[in-house]
Copies of this chain bind each other. A is one copy, B any other.
Amino acid sequence: MSLLVVGSMAFDAIETPFGKSDKIIGGAATYIAWSASNFTQPIKQISIVGYDFPKEELQALEARGVVTEGIQIKEDEKSFFWSGKYHMDMNTRDTLDTQLNVLANFNPVVPESYQDCEFLMLGNLVPALQMSVIDQMKNRPKLIVMDTMNFWMETAMDDLKKVLTKVDLLMVNDSEARELSHEFSLVKAAKKIMQMGPKYLIIKKGEHGALLFHGENVFFAPALPLEDVYDPTGAGDTFAGGFIGHLARTKDISFENMKTAIIIGSAMASFCVEKFGTQRLKEITKADIDHRLEQFQELVSFEIELV
């Protein structure tokens, strides 16, 4: 009855208008696990790393209730590496370098001990590998959530479309939603994407918040206006971690509870961007999270009396 997370664990080197990081720990599954472990444990992780991935990082995750049995360690290869530079608006970025390394021949294997998972979070990854994990599950999870990116729309659209028919909820950003649907209006894009398979769709708009669609229903979660955004890397994954973490904890996949989950995801993402990499996620306490959730409540609460 736990959460299964699949995705990369890697190194990033990041430049933003406000600073530059060395090679630091990153990867979708890393951010998802740090974020989700505030709400639910254990988290059963599937990933792949090389000999250069610090053992202490894996131990730190284990101390947070992350099960590492499904993390393959390739002793003769290097971990995945990505380097990027953000533009002033922090919503767009250029990739400076990508070294697939261990990811080039990754074949995710679902351990027997992971078969009880009811919640499956597929972080951004080659669509065929996301599909492989779904196929290996003996019982279909109660909820399958999937992240993806424009790169796969351009290089593996057929595979991506197959995975879409198998998942309950897709998370993409606004430009990806437009690319996937060939619609500029996000409302029209959402309708088309939900016809491709997922019954629920989250469109992330970075500093402009996120939209949750389901049938004719729509919910909007704002992003917290921040004085400084140091590094948006991993914000989407941190959002995903908070979202799925809350759902796995409450075991309630109603639209109403998804609203709460998307607010929790947004709150977690607002921490992520305050420092480089996973640094801020490692520092925050339950009190910090509660305080931020109160700020979200204040941010959008209003009273209206129709006259």
- Mark A residues whose CB is within 8 Å of B: 17, 88, 184-188, 205, 208-209, 211, 217-222, 225-229, 256, 259-260, 263-264, 290, 293-294, 296-304, 306
Contact = CB atoms under 8 A, between A and B. Distances in A.
A204 to B, nearest CB: 13
| Copies, count | 2
A219 B187 contact: no
A306 B287 CA distance: 10
* Interface class of chain A by DSSP: mixed
B209 A304 contact: no
Contact of A302 (B218, B219, B226, B298): B219
B187 A227 contact: yes
A208 B211 contact: no
A226 B185 contact: yes
A298 B214 CA distance: 13
Contacts of A187: 225-227
Contacts of A209: 208-209, 222
B260 A302 contact: yes
Contact of A300 (B220, B226, B290, B298): B220
12 contacts: A185-B226, A187-B225, A187-B226, A208-B209, A209-B209, A211-B225, A219-B298, A219-B299, A256-B303, A290-B306, A294-B306, A296-B304
